[in-house]
Structure 1
């Protein structure tokens, strides 16, 4: 009896977790700006990690400077594209 109750509980749990949402209002599609925001956050996190590891002595000065410049350039491109898309999109 306990095994049957466990199977029913497990099936109910999986159905609750993995059942697709039927309401389209709940399922919002990501826009390009959403992806760019996520990328910007990842770049900033990488910059923080790079700075921490450099201060811990894991990177030589030249490698640190190159990686930091690359990450800053990428961040600038992402932010510029975000601003361009936000200006082109009308506010609702």
Structure 2
């Protein structure tokens, strides 16, 4: 059975995540307040950050950076691309 939530990012009723996606209070907040479509957009942005900044998610400092960026992206509507980032044409 799918779990429905009111997604604060998109301001719609939508399918919620299946489990908290991050091991912290921030992950619980995302689980409670963010729908799958918004989470999918974050994952795409996170991939850009990981690739452009050469982030190792197991590094505690770099993981903290990703968490801060995740919260900005999802709850502050703040999306900053890495300096010099050029999107690839698909």
- TM-score of the aligned structures, taking structure 2 as reference length: 0.27
The structure richer in helix per residue is: 1
The structure richer in strand per residue is: 2
- Higher relative contact order (CA closer than 8 Å, sequence separation 6+): 1
- TM-score of the aligned structures, taking structure 1 as reference length: 0.27
